[in-house]
Chain A
């Protein structure tokens, strides 16, 4: 009997493509919601991305009751409490998150408070604390990377105790993710590159880490194919709506993959580096990805070699001897990083970031070792291993 076992879960309706935003009123009224609140950030408003959502709703007679557009990049418990207060005062009955990881996580946490009651979000921290469905909730991602629209977790900083509170429950998942190419069309080049590499890392780690399974594998490989196909095209032609949609879909697919199979050492190092050096998450992912794959190489040779098909296409795959495919996958990713560096200076080493000093590596290694993602890395990581990977990623 095989000892293999897995679980796969994704109840999020995906609404994707041309004029997807115009489906929002139908979806919300279908759930009995009449008074939606939008949770977003200043960047989204400045980029003019609020307007198409609001007019899509109002044209259909669904009035947006309240707009909170001040979510900070690193959201906190007090922000969550404030938004929940406005939601209650305005008698809202549903939420629409528009933005990247922070806006989405904030809206997830707000949904806990307005559904479960109270002002103290810390009370609901942890796994499985929430036992019943929350208010109707839609997500409109504006970066093609985090995949937060299909993950059942949220992280909010408790400013008083200066700790990060994790929330995890399948009830945090939105009812629908609305993926409209208009929403990522204006994303600046370096953010396009970094967030796409975050999605690429989600898919690669999902396909090579411990909890990989046939269903997450299918999403992961499809996401990798889309990203390798479209990323450079979009970098050269930012207004390419079709390519933008491909990247946005890939991000959601990679999100579905990794939320069902977890991520590994790239994320552990990335979380640590983000916390210590305040570098954007996607940038850290792009930076560490090849070095971690090299570290894991002998443990993941087979699946990594398989990825060459999706990274470089059937011709290259067929022309590469099977015992060289894993290495070829790594060089393909390195090549992609070189091309991105050419186009938008996306750093490839810690030194190139200009915001990390060599004496910080020890702390990064220590913090990474405490990160939950390290548990699912296919190869055991000890402190000296983390140090070694960081040394190679330095320059």
Chain B
């Protein structure tokens, strides 16, 4: 059944760790200002032990926390964008983003097992140009959906995005249509799609694949919305209510199935996958 893994090299977990600056010994919680010893934070999956604030996670770290050790096989790792609109300075900006984040683009995609349940998993990273969706993000996610159709595997997408990528203009907008149409085919085949909304999920990602999961989970406190709070404030010229556009707000308004603490996420994903059958 899984002979398609044959051709690919095996990676150990440490090999797909993102190149990054050495972690600080202590991190200050953005929410409660507590100084937390890095190892304590890491052990708690980057959730503040004092107040429960969910720190932002890099994509490979997220993979490490989600899939079984050594099971991740990345697709299209090197895919890079072209400057479709000849936007001045875009290529430099991409280079900078790449150096800063250790990523080639704002999403990584691949196969992975969650407690032995094989799936296709996509993880966005807001450290790369705000997790914006340009043609590479759209293409990588579409190809991942196609892989999951080809092998009839469930699909898990972790969203984190500021929206469409301005530098790719209208081409970026069209990625919303491309991914949504692929998800429709996926759905028609009776396959499971779970999305996990993390901080922040806004704009074109919210108006496409983030809202199309059969089951939509979200991390506590994540900002989720179509328009960003700044834009809304400008439009209505008043302060936004407390908690507006938080994961909990979306659950209350019927757009998120369940807010799940990061420490329970892997278990929750496993249970959903188990209930939907498969190996």
Answer whether A and B are interacting partners. Answer: no
The residues of A with any CB-CB pair to B shorter than 8 Å are none
The residues of B with any CB-CB pair to A shorter than 8 Å are none
